[in-house]
Amino acid sequence: MDSEPLGIVFGLASALSWGAGDFSGGVAAKRSPVYGVVIVSQFIGLLLLGSLAVLLSEPIPLPADLLWGAAAGIAGGLGLVALYRGLATGRMGVVAPVSAVVSAAVPVLWGAFLEGLPTPSQLLGFGVALVAVWLVSRTGDGMGIQVRDLGLPFLVGLGFGLFLIAIDRVSDTAILWPLAAARIAAIAMLLPVVARTHLGGMPVARQLPLIALAGSLDSSGNAFYALAAQMGRLDVAAVLSSLFPAGTVLLARFILREPVSRLQWLGVAAALVAVVLIAS
């Protein structure tokens, strides 16, 4: 069976999982300390990945695979720190779209370097997808973007993009253990930041089920992305998984009744067009 279609399916599954996970974590973060939500969800994701690795009897991978997983976790952890720093000091309407586009563009450029250019229709799909991510992530603050506003969003996107590249470097027989190593490294990155800035604090007990759901969905998204990258092209997997903001926006619209702007609806439509182009 051709693995390319499966890679596309897993890439979309990654986007859906990450989108739902971000929605769940975002709702929890409105009622609990943000860093507390992130760290607890990371711990829950670690427990889930480790338990699945044991239950499924996944072999202990080579040290190189664990190191690649840890490198991915460090990059992702740095991206998270920069993200929350950017959200605290900047505007969501700048941080979200810029970081999302950069995080998708970095593995696209790396994939083109390693695997050559994709087909023309896929290249067009990549362009449409990047536009879709930008539109869906816009919050409509109506203010212009200054050059000085781009530093932290670029670091966020670079960190997340390097995560996607690093996790693709693990061997085809290793998925869960390297992802668990990534979680350990990310937690190790976040704990000193929380301790130094006093931005942590345990979430309230009634939010723990929602945080557990967020951690489980995030871990599932990581696993689906790793499978997508292994079964197909890195750039295809990265671009498809980067469409996750569309799921977050739609869940917020239909569950929380949050308004969706015309630009965001246009972004959702563009995401659907991008999927068709990439899969063609």
| C-alpha dist (Å) from residue 233 to 17, 21, 191, 200 | 20, 24, 34, 38
Q: Is the pLDDT of residue 143 over 60?
A: no
Total domain count, the chain: 1
Q: Which amino acid is at 128?
A: V
- pLDDT by residue (tens digit) across 144-196? 555 566 778 889 889 999 999 999 998 888 899 999 999 999 999 888 877 77
What percent of the chain stands above pLDDT 90?
A: 42
Q: What is the pLDDT of residue 28?
A: 86
Separation CA 38–CA 272 (nearest Å): 30
CA separation, residue 206 to residues 24, 36, 203, 214 (Å): 13, 14, 8, 14
Which of the residue ranges 62-71, 105-114, 231-240, 244-253 has the most confident prediction, judged by mean pLDDT? 62-71
Its pTM stands at: 0.89
Short-list 103, 229, 213, CA closest to 178: 229
pLDDT tens-digit map of 94-142? 677 788 888 888 998 898 888 888 889 999 999 999 999 888 887 655 5
Q: What is the mean pLDDT of residues 264-274?
A: 91
pLDDT of residue 1: 46
Q: Which domain holds residue 243?
A: 3-279
